[in-house]
């Protein structure tokens, strides 16, 4: 591998790409999949029959909306803060419940993608115009620093879609601990966790026959080509999924089908790939009650209650600070 060291990078994406592709083993950060094209691909993934997570969580929210709203909301006034809001399809169930029950609240959707936030705001204006929306673009970790600003009244923090599964256990504890620091005694955290289950069901969810998940992961290479003047040939990489039922860890890789050289002009990098060498692109962690309780305890939180789907594939937990 030949490199031209850069002391200055034009963006975090450029710097993280340089770091990932000069590491061994190679990796790219999954957060950079989400541009306008990546957002649309993920919306397609959520509608795939193999991707059970969306329908399971949707059914949990629909079946338990009244109880969930009563548990995390406050009629006297609260801020509903959602990390990784996406298209808001599932959240709208709770928003409608809060509106119907005449709760006094503001909705603060937070997402790394500005385009998806604009779409969400527009759809809410059409479908539930009574909701006061204050969208914020940014990453989880930067936005978490601002959560303490919302201390004048109660907070309900939402993290849906098992987004925490994109983090290792160590980083998940840090993530939860940062949320806990921003919470007051009466605040609630409502979070989805995909559960351990038959390994094949999990593999099928991340390796669909239509190739949508493959295109989603390869969007990292598309962005590098477009924004950093790379010359990745997407056809020379294979999307590969693994799952370890013991640890509950699903991992996504892009595997080089042959010996090849890739040049990325804007970061002065020439990357050599051996045949069958991989780039790690995503982690999707699966859980059970004991792991969730351990994560919560390590982060200074405690589980108040949980809601599961009929197939026992997925759970949403409500947390309070200890």
pLDDT tens for 180-219 read 998 999 999 999 999 999 999 999 999 999 999 999 999 9
Across 313-322, average pLDDT: 97
287: which DSSP letter?
A: B
Residue 2, CA distances (Å) to 11, 237, 261, 280 in order: 21, 21, 10, 21
Q: What is the DSSP code string of 34-48? A: -SHHHHHHHHHHHTS
Residue 230, CA distances (Å) to 219, 290, 295 in order: 13, 44, 39
Kindly state whether residue 43 falls inside one of the protein's structural domains.
no
Kindly state whether residue 87 falls inside one of the protein's structural domains.
yes
> Does 273 lie in the same domain as 133?
no
Task: Calculate helix-pair angle for 289-299, 169-181, nearest 10 degrees.
Answer: 50
Kindly state whether residue 201 falls inside one of the protein's structural domains.
no
Domain of 262, in residue numbers: 2-33+208-285
Q: Is the pLDDT of residue 6 over 80?
A: no
Give the confidence band of 58 by pLDDT, cuts at 50, 70, 90: very high
Q: Is the pLDDT of residue 109 over 90?
A: yes
Kindly state whether residue 80 falls inside one of the protein's structural domains.
yes
> Does 268 lie in the same domain as 212?
yes
Whole-number Å distance between alpha carbons of 181 and 321: 9
> Does 183 lie in the same domain as 117?
yes
Burial of 243 (0-12, 13-18, 19+ CB in 10 A): buried
Q: 138 in the Ramachandran plot: left (φ > 0), alpha (ψ -120 to 50) or beta? A: left
Cα dihedral across residues 59, 96, 144, 7: positive or negative: positive
> Does 220 lie in the same domain as 106?
no
pLDDT tens sequence across 76-93 = 899 999 998 888 999 999
What tokens does 151 get? 């201390």
Question: How confident is the prediction for the chain on average, in pLDDT?
Answer: 93
Q: What is the DSSP code string of 141-208? A: HHHHHHHTT--SSEEEEEE-TTGGGGS-HHHHHHHHHHHHHT--TT-EEEEEEEBP--HHHHHHHTS-
Q: Is the pLDDT of residue 7 over 70?
A: no
Kindly state whether residue 200 falls inside one of the protein's structural domains.
no
Kindly state whether residue 139 falls inside one of the protein's structural domains.
yes
Kindly state whether residue 41 falls inside one of the protein's structural domains.
no
Give the confidence band of 108 by pLDDT, cuts at 50, 70, 90: very high
> Does 295 lie in the same domain as 280?
no
pLDDT tens sequence across 257-268 = 999 999 999 999
The total number of structural domains that make up the chain? 2
State the pLDDT at residue 151.
Answer: 61
Q: Is the pLDDT of residue 170 over 80?
A: yes
> Does 308 lie in the same domain as 160?
yes
Residue among 142, 71, 11 nearest 307 (CA): 71
Tell me the sheet residues that pair with 7. none
The pTM of the full predicted model, rounded to 2 decimals, is 0.89
We report the CATH number of the domain holding residue 187 as: 3.40.50.150
> Does 271 lie in the same domain as 307?
no
State the pLDDT at residue 50.
Answer: 94
Kindly state whether residue 82 falls inside one of the protein's structural domains.
yes
> Does 188 lie in the same domain as 305?
yes
> Does 309 lie in the same domain as 226?
no
Whole-number Å distance between alpha carbons of 106 and 90: 17
> Does 175 lie in the same domain as 109?
yes
State the pLDDT at residue 41.
Answer: 94
Across 131-155, average pLDDT: 78
Residue among 253, 193, 200, 245 nearest 50 (CA): 200
> Does 165 lie in the same domain as 102?
yes
> Does 58 lie in the same domain as 90?
yes
Percentage of the chain beyond pLDDT 90 is 81
Give the confidence band of 114 by pLDDT, cuts at 50, 70, 90: confident
Residue 79, CA distances (Å) to 105, 148, 276 in order: 6, 12, 49
Q: Is the pLDDT of residue 254 over 90?
A: yes
pLDDT tens sequence across 270-312 = 999 999 999 999 999 999 999 999 999 999 999 999 999 999 9
Give the confidence band of 107 by pLDDT, cuts at 50, 70, 90: very high
Percentage of the chain beyond pLDDT 70 is 95
């Amino acid at each position: 591998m030949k490199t031209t060291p850069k002391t200055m990078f034009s963006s975090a994406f450029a710097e993280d790409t340089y770091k990932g592709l000069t590491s061994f083993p190679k990796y790219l950060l999954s957060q950079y999949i989400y541009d306008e094209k990546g957002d649309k691909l993920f919306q397609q993934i959520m509608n795939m029959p193999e991707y059970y997570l969306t329908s399971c969580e949707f059914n949990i929210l629909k079946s338990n909306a009244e109880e969930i709203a009563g548990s995390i909301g406050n009629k006297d006034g609260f801020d509903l803060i959602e990390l990784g809001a996406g298209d808001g399809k599932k959240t709208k169930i709770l928003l409608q419940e809060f509106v119907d029950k005449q709760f006094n609240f503001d909705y603060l959707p937070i997402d790394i993608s500005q385009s998806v936030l604009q779409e969400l705001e527009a759809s809410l204006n059409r479908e539930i115009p009574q909701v006061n929306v204050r969208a914020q673009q940014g990453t989880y970790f930067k936005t978490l620093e601002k959560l303490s600003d919302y201390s004048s009244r109660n907070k309900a923090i939402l993290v849906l879609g098992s987004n925490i599964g994109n983090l290792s256990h160590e980083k998940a504890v840090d993530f939860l601990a940062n949320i806990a620091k921003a919470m007051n005694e009466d605040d609630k955290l409502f979070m989805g966790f995909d559960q351990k289950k038959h390994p094949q069901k999990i593999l099928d969810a991340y390796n669909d026959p239509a190739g949508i998940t493959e295109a989603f992961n390869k969007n990292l290479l598309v962005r590098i080509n477009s924004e950093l003047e790379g010359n990745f040939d997407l056809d020379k990489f294979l999307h590969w999924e693994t799952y370890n039922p013991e640890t509950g860890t699903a991992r996504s890789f892009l595997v080089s089908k042959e010996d090849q050289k890739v040049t990325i002009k804007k970061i002065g990098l020439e990357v050599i790939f051996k045949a069958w060498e991989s780039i790690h692109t995503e982690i999707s962690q699966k859980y059970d009650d004991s792991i969730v309780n351990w994560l919560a305890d390590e982060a200074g939180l405690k589980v108040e209650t949980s809601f599961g789907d009929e197939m026992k594939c997925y759970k949403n937990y409500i947390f309070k600070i200890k």
